[in-house]
Structure 1
Amino acid sequence: MTELKLFAPASIANLNCGFDVIGVCLQAIGDEMIFRKVAEKGLRITKITGATLPFEIDKNVAGVAAQAVLDEVGEPDFGIEIEIHKKIRAGSGIGSSSASASGAAFGINALLGYPLSKKELLNAAMKGEAIASGCEHADNVAPCMLGNFTLIRGYGPLDVVEIQAPNELFAVVLHPQIELKTADARAVLEPNISLKSAITQWGNVGGLVAGLCTQDYALIGRSLQDVVIEPLRKGLIPFFDELKSAALHSGALGAGISGAGPSVFALCKGISQAEKTAFAMSQAYLETGIAFDIHISAIDTEGVRILESIA
């Protein structure tokens, strides 16, 4: 390929109980990126739309991830230009930086003839993610890259488990029009938790994974509980309790903070329930006077993918 256009999907990380280890890929929202071979050697970002981001390779999430792939496989005998078209708002809590990082790693790899697998690209994507969040973590880049649900079993070395999404599972995401930086959301966390909270959280993580694997929607709902992170972060999101309550009372399986916030997600069984939950969440937030976006999405089973290519 001499040029390609790809889709890098949004994602929800943590899923309440799975802080920094569980994420899911969204089908309805994502960035688009274009990668082009050129004669002049070197890596360049030539166009950015939808956000104000640096063009310097070492300061841009996508640039760092792209360069990490080149560092791994070697510099080609041609140059590469990147266009970034942001559709996911920065600081929204649905993996904006992860989409850029995963998309960049995938796009460079595709132009080079796929020397690395998608899983092997995750380390490069994590390096890009660290530019935005301050640390390398894979709970967004893994589902964005691979699709479906992912479990990060460990980081030394990176061990990612892919989990097939239940057929009828849908996500609703409401994004209040405020920006909450991941670094700020991490600053409110406490370094230690009680044994009681740890036991509760471990049980919920196990229950969520089991529920997903067996398509037990009731078990998924019971497991979408967070006794560790949500109590500390929910104060950063205006009217969070009211929004979560509206989702649960509408019949959602569960609801919580998407990633670091400020977006709030709900998981639902079936599209009709997702539409009902989206309406309830919208009505609850209309009363606050805060502008918001809302999305209904099926679970994306493919992850980053090429939309168009030129041989």
Structure 2
Amino acid sequence: MSNPEQVLNKQSKINQDHWLDEVRVFAPATVANMICGFDILGFAVDKPGDEVYMQRVGNPGVRIRSIKGDDGRLPLDPDKNTVSACVMMLLAHLGLETEIGVEIELTKHMPIGSGLGSSSASTVAGLFAINTLLGNPLTKDELMPFCVEGERLACGHGHADNVAPALMGGITLIRGSQPLDIINLPVPDQLVAGIVFPQVDVPTRDARQLIKEKVSLKDAVVQWGNIAGLVSGLYRNDYELISRSMHDVLIEPTRAILIPEFYEMKRIAMDSGVLSFGISGSGPSVVAISKGFEAAQLAVDRIQEHLTANGIESLQFVSAVNAEGPKVLS
């Protein structure tokens, strides 16, 4: 990822006098795709999210001290955990892998496999933490490739629609991936996401495998128009345009098959007065996007009532768009 000259340049930016002994960082969950923008749009939310506590220790190397909230599903082996693996990559990039030792405590505040960017939140929190610990030698733009690599390690596909908003905050557009070209879009003040996580299992890899490799030109034109309309609506602060643009004719019809009661949840949400409704990432979480908190809260409450009546447990989160991204807690 780097050559000796790049490492030297980075080392020149590192002042050990600015190193911290410990840091605690929160990184937010994200809603990838933003309904009509498969793999190119996403936004961050205030809750849920993941926390990383990182402490500098005497022995060089990266170690995971504990993981909470994962029900024992994540590896403690630092070579196999995406948080520690990305931290090791960054230290190697800076030429510090034999100079510094850190121990990590990861706390998951969101379900794994929820469609809310669980792996990306952890990865972003870890990379933001080590960068903060070292006095911020890298900018967020420079951290981004490491975040994308974390996604590749986690799910086999190095896409940025979760890690970009988690790291940058707000709403992001992935214009291109080679090279990576990320654009921050305007966030209307009253845009709110009501998220419901039905506790059913929809693995990301399985959801991606269902997607058709070829689509009709007619459907592609509709989707392009919706994406362009959504971006225009964000710039114009036009909620009506945002509402009529946030429709997915390419991915939702296939992925909805994996999510029980999806179309009934959609009907309930739209009847509650939200702007739009769709799948968050690869699911099973669903998102009702509204103008203001009232409609979003009403939608998720009614959806949860319906799921409970059908024997499906669920969690809900209602949040404005998170403009900050990761933040230092202590």
Fold agreement, TM-score > 0.5: yes
Larger Rg: 2
Q: What is the distance in 1 between the residues matched to 2:91 and 2:101? A: 11
Do residues 244 (structure 1) and 266 (structure 2) align?
A: yes
Equivalent residue for 2:62?
Answer: 43
Residues 181-192 of structure 1 mapped to structure 2, 5 A cutoff: 181-192=203-214
The correspondence for 1:219, drawn from 230, 237, 241, is 241
Equivalent residue for 2:317?
Answer: 295
Deviation at 1:28, TM superposition (A): 2.0
Q: What is the distance in 1 between the residues matched to 2:244 and 2:35? A: 11
Deviation at 1:180, TM superposition (A): 1.5
Deviation at 1:110, TM superposition (A): 1.1
Q: What is the distance in 2 between the residues matched to 1:273 and 1:176? A: 19
Equivalent residue for 2:289?
Answer: 267
- Greater shift, 74-83 or 130-139, is seen at 74-83
Do residues 18 (structure 1) and 31 (structure 2) align?
A: no
SS class of match (1:89)? coil
Equivalent residue for 1:126?
Answer: 148
Amino acid corresponding to residue 94 of structure 2 in structure 1: V
The correspondence for 2:181, drawn from 146, 159, 164, is 159
- The total of aligned residue pairs comes to 308
Provide Cα deviations, 1:107-145, integer angstroms capped at 9, x if missing partner: 111112211111211110111111221110100000001
SS class of match (1:47)? strand
Q: What is the distance in 2 between the residues matched to 1:174 and 1:298? A: 15
Provide Cα deviations, 1:176-232, integer angstroms capped at 9, x if missing partner: 111211111111111111111111111111111111121111111111100100011
In the alignment, structure 1 segments of 5+ residues that lack a partner are none
Amino acid corresponding to residue 107 of structure 2 in structure 1: H
Provide Cα deviations, 1:8-62, integer angstroms capped at 9, x if missing partner: 1100000111000100000021111101111110011111000121011221121
Residues 166-205 of structure 1 mapped to structure 2, 5 A cutoff: 166-205=188-227
Equivalent residue for 1:72?
Answer: 93
Q: What is the distance in 2 between the residues matched to 1:35 and 1:254? A: 39
Deviation at 1:105, TM superposition (A): 1.3
Residues 68-147 of structure 1 mapped to structure 2, 5 A cutoff: 68-75=89-96, 77-147=99-169
Equivalent residue for 2:6?
Answer: none
Amino acid corresponding to residue 23 of structure 1 in structure 2: G
Q: What is the distance in 2 between the residues matched to 1:172 and 1:96? A: 17
Do residues 30 (structure 1) and 52 (structure 2) align?
A: no
Q: What is the distance in 2 between the residues matched to 1:35 and 1:189? A: 38
The correspondence for 1:279, drawn from 274, 291, 301, is 301
TM-score (norm 2): 0.91
Provide Cα deviations, 1:139-172, integer angstroms capped at 9, x if missing partner: 0000001110000000111000011311011100
Which portions of structure 1, spanning 4 or more consecutive aligned residues, are displaced by more than 6 angstroms?
none
Task: Assess if the C-alpha contact under 8 Å between 1:253 and 1:267 holds in 2.
Answer: yes
TM-score (norm 1): 0.97
Q: What is the distance in 2 between the residues matched to 1:275 and 1:291? A: 17
Q: What is the distance in 2 between the residues matched to 1:68 and 1:18? A: 30
SS class of match (1:203)? helix
Q: What is the distance in 2 between the residues matched to 1:55 and 1:106? A: 20
Equivalent residue for 1:4?
Answer: 23
Q: What is the distance in 2 between the residues matched to 1:33 and 1:209? A: 33
Q: What is the distance in 2 between the residues matched to 1:84 and 1:132? A: 15
Q: What is the distance in 2 between the residues matched to 1:124 and 1:105? A: 8
Equivalent residue for 2:75?
Answer: 54
